[in-house]
Structure 1
């Protein structure tokens, strides 16, 4: 019932909020007309909008840092399990990199054509209308983004706690409490400052690239020494199952997920027409090469059976190759997963912010901190949901659930690019990809959504579909019809939250 109340609220709250802001500005002797204004004897005051604080380097670090997270240290097991052999496993990792690059090229055209934050939400709204956009925001804000943050922080907690339990698996209560603490720390940093969150992302991206270089370098040395026995007859025992290959792609693409993250913060990106496509062109091929080389390095040390039985693949690799300094692997994996969680939280807040601004989520989610210029309510909301999803966390189940819904929306977004080629011909397109690329993405998305369901139907897929469609039960009364009683119920709650968090509606600027 609470979610029903939170779907819409009275627009008069904007006026109340603006009054509070203006009283504060009157007390301080300043005003905020335009992007930057000047009051007598005071320094310039920024407008209450998200600031353009993300440059090219930070953009690349956001892509690389979000993609290289827990996936490469967890997914190798699942990809090998479903593919059945080393050869298909490496081919799937390579194919996933190609798919991620093609998808990102589509998003580069969309992001430079529609320079709004929110990623798929903004593109679906422009091409297909409010209902698909709403269903995307409903599913992503309520499930996909917080469950993604929960998965990554659970991986962080697993690696961080493993050294303290050398002879057994860390207790579930320990990993879950540690994951919740990580979420609280990340949410706090993202609420305090965009620049602080960017600096954290840059630092942890550098750390994870360092451990990737260490693993790949060790693998190259082992290959030069002749440790190639696991790479011979690489296709023996390969899986022939249509659905199993789809699940292998699911887990591989989970490791690559993050290639679209920069599109969620387009409004905060400096010179998006240049930096968005450039960050994509640099970041994603770099990650693809790293992933394939890391998997080859794993197979120089472990047989397929050993890799499948390893609870932490990267740690096992470090114990066998880097002793007595093998402790650096779990340490840097902790850095890697923490940085990925930070990137996930950073972008998730922007989607909730844009959805609230467009009236598809509760308005308080679109408010901005008056002091920090961050979408604090949206970030906090995502963090609270992530903590909730930690409680029943089963990482592999969550990955399959996440990928099923996410790739459905990826396909719709690629379809929206095709639609706008015919319906929005007048829009400026600094980047324009061949139409066959979004067409291929639509076909791949259909395969990844349907193949596992056809091969092995699971209730998870039904639950996911029901949840997505159930958003319409809230859309029509609270968004389309704008029922008055819900607004009246939301007004006092919004007012108290606004005063508590010192947040105001964003100013309207061109």
Structure 2
């Protein structure tokens, strides 16, 4: 019995050694790492949303409604809409735990064609144009102190914006943690200026500076088109509410941290935006605010002098934080599109040392620089807003569709069906309102560009014409060596 027991034990030990030997030679795959926690998630949302918008959009919102009362209501309503939209994305993000934002959701709900059109439009229009708008805003505020009494030269603004894009692209290509730490620092910096403006406004209100709030609905211009256009401008300041869905694969415990980051982050931004606008109106009448070239700078000159230089400095931090958050998340969209075969395969490669989607981030930064060269902020915002709300509405509609077509999917978060219905209807209004009230050729060009993606899809995805891949293979090989990147499924010892 003793010998038999010993043989059995040796057999067990040998089996264990064999398994360990096999495991030691099992391939390890290169994957994005889960390095973004709850605090970083909240900072990503707050930091991406609060950028240049709150320092630019108050003037545009007020110009459409022409009174203080409706203006404040629009700002609060935009925050509610952003929160409802983010809750829809929270259900989608915990139901389909893939990075890439709207892309995997449209793929599940409607198939590859709408998903491809989204990635086509996002990669070449909405995401890089948003990055360009934010960096141009940064450049205007950063260069303004050096050109007192006149507008900075356009070449200076564009060079500064391009430099900002290059630096942010490099930082996010080098390290996920470095990008997160930079985001946390810039978010803290921008919250300082937000706090300064809010506290100053509260102090002024306590001192009785309330005359600009009397008859706050008098002479207001209320119509469907004016409200819609006011929402358009207000929602530009809130854009970024869905950014965390682009990095779901890198979130620690996404079922908990994704909805918590949304529930904490977006209402915090909404409260800040309403209080900031109240602060502006404590020192400026509606007419004065509309005549101001830079609302926050005018506020600083009147309230913080001689320390008014603090405002443009921290606005620069704010815009940089928004640009960094946009780059961090949008690079993942490029990465996912490359992984799905809807873009060049090299864009889905991951840095061996850094574990970042470096080729995707660099590609994104390069396209943004192209938009800076001929573009101006107003034109880019028109392009961006029109295109982005088409796909926001389509994605939320996909949530409604999957309630009936994909009942088997696990839904850790399940919101009332009325919420996505409301968001879808509002999206339709937001897309149609600017076309009806202020038609421009830019909307036609944008629509034609989106539809041109059908041709690209038919040729290179559906029919699988491979000549672009043959041309790109030598380039891919050299990029792999230069950037030290490999495919996600590449085997490493």
Q: Which moved more, 1:58-67 or 1:480-489?
A: 480-489
Aligned to 2:476: 494
CA deviation vs aligned residue, 1:11-36 (integer Å, no higher than 9, x gap): xxxxxxxxxxxxxxxxxxxxxxxxxx
CA contact (8 A) 1:147 1:398 kept: yes
Deviation of residue 328 (structure 1)?
A: 1.1
**Which of 109, 116, 137 is residue 134 of structure 1 equivalent to?**
116
**Which of 457, 463, 475 is residue 445 of structure 2 equivalent to?**
463
CA deviation vs aligned residue, 1:71-99 (integer Å, no higher than 9, x gap): 00011111111122111111110110000
CA contact (8 A) 1:74 1:313 kept: yes
**Which of 356, 371, 393 is residue 338 of structure 2 equivalent to?**
356
Aligned to 2:11: none
**Residues 46 and 86 of structure 1: is their aligned pair in 2 closer, same or farther, counting only changes over 3 Å?**
farther
Q: What secondary structure, in the 3-state scheme, does the structure 2 residue paired with 1:274 have?
A: helix
**Which of 301, 312, 318 is residue 283 of structure 2 equivalent to?**
301
Deviation of residue 507 (structure 1)?
A: 2.3
Aligned to 1:162: 144
- In the alignment, the residues of structure 2 paired with residue 69 and residue 327 of structure 1 have an alpha-carbon distance, to the nearest angstrom, of 18
Q: What secondary structure, in the 3-state scheme, does the structure 2 residue paired with 1:203 have?
A: helix
Root-mean-square deviation over aligned CA pairs: 1.6
**Residues 392 and 85 of structure 1: is their aligned pair in 2 closer, same or farther, counting only changes over 3 Å?**
farther
- In the alignment, the residues of structure 1 paired with residue 306 and residue 29 of structure 2 have an alpha-carbon distance, to the nearest angstrom, of 54
Q: What secondary structure, in the 3-state scheme, does the structure 2 residue paired with 1:454 have?
A: helix
- In the alignment, the residues of structure 2 paired with residue 293 and residue 397 of structure 1 have an alpha-carbon distance, to the nearest angstrom, of 29
CA contact (8 A) 1:243 1:453 kept: no
Q: Is 1:145 matched up with 2:140?
A: no
Structure 1 segment 342-353 matched on structure 2, within 5 A: 342-353=324-335
- In the alignment, the residues of structure 1 paired with residue 201 and residue 392 of structure 2 have an alpha-carbon distance, to the nearest angstrom, of 34
- In the alignment, the residues of structure 2 paired with residue 374 and residue 243 of structure 1 have an alpha-carbon distance, to the nearest angstrom, of 44
**TM-score (normalised: structure 2):** 0.93
Aligned to 1:68: 50
**Residues 231 and 291 of structure 1: is their aligned pair in 2 closer, same or farther, counting only changes over 3 Å?**
same
Aligned to 1:240: 222
**Which of 308, 328, 341 is residue 326 of structure 1 equivalent to?**
308
CA contact (8 A) 2:125 2:383 kept: no
- In the alignment, the residues of structure 2 paired with residue 367 and residue 86 of structure 1 have an alpha-carbon distance, to the nearest angstrom, of 50
Aligned to 2:407: 425
**Which of 84, 106, 115 is residue 102 of structure 1 equivalent to?**
84
CA deviation vs aligned residue, 1:159-205 (integer Å, no higher than 9, x gap): 11111112111111111111111111000000100000000000011
**TM-score (normalised: structure 1):** 0.90
Structure 1 segment 38-437 matched on structure 2, within 5 A: 47-437=29-419
CA contact (8 A) 1:118 1:350 kept: yes
- In the alignment, the residues of structure 2 paired with residue 277 and residue 365 of structure 1 have an alpha-carbon distance, to the nearest angstrom, of 29
Structure 2 residue ranges without an equivalent (≥5): 1-22
Deviation of residue 55 (structure 1)?
A: 0.6
CA contact (8 A) 1:242 1:455 kept: no
Q: What secondary structure, in the 3-state scheme, does the structure 1 residue paired with 2:107 have?
A: helix
Deviation of residue 451 (structure 1)?
A: 1.2
- In the alignment, the residues of structure 2 paired with residue 232 and residue 508 of structure 1 have an alpha-carbon distance, to the nearest angstrom, of 66
Deviation of residue 226 (structure 1)?
A: 1.4
CA deviation vs aligned residue, 1:137-178 (integer Å, no higher than 9, x gap): 000011110000000011111111111112111111111111
- In the alignment, the residues of structure 2 paired with residue 484 and residue 276 of structure 1 have an alpha-carbon distance, to the nearest angstrom, of 39
- In the alignment, the residues of structure 1 paired with residue 58 and residue 408 of structure 2 have an alpha-carbon distance, to the nearest angstrom, of 45
Deviation of residue 493 (structure 1)?
A: 2.0
Q: What secondary structure, in the 3-state scheme, does the structure 1 residue paired with 2:103 have?
A: helix
Q: Which moved more, 1:133-142 or 1:385-394?
A: 385-394
Structure 1 residue ranges without an equivalent (≥5): 1-36, 40-44
Deviation of residue 47 (structure 1)?
A: 4.1
CA contact (8 A) 1:251 1:400 kept: no
CA deviation vs aligned residue, 1:384-408 (integer Å, no higher than 9, x gap): 1111111223212221221111111
CA contact (8 A) 1:108 1:431 kept: yes
Q: Is 1:478 matched up with 2:460?
A: yes
Q: What secondary structure, in the 3-state scheme, does the structure 2 residue paired with 1:168 have?
A: coil
Deviation of residue 490 (structure 1)?
A: 2.1
CA contact (8 A) 1:247 1:400 kept: no
- In the alignment, the residues of structure 1 paired with residue 247 and residue 234 of structure 2 have an alpha-carbon distance, to the nearest angstrom, of 25
Deviation of residue 448 (structure 1)?
A: 0.1
Deviation of residue 381 (structure 1)?
A: 0.7
Larger radius of gyration: 2
CA contact (8 A) 1:48 1:505 kept: yes
Aligned residue pairs total 469
Q: Which moved more, 1:143-152 or 1:235-244?
A: 235-244
Deviation of residue 241 (structure 1)?
A: 4.0
CA contact (8 A) 1:52 1:268 kept: yes
Q: Which moved more, 1:91-100 or 1:233-242?
A: 233-242
Q: Which moved more, 1:266-275 or 1:400-409?
A: 400-409
CA contact (8 A) 1:66 1:339 kept: yes
CA contact (8 A) 2:30 2:490 kept: no
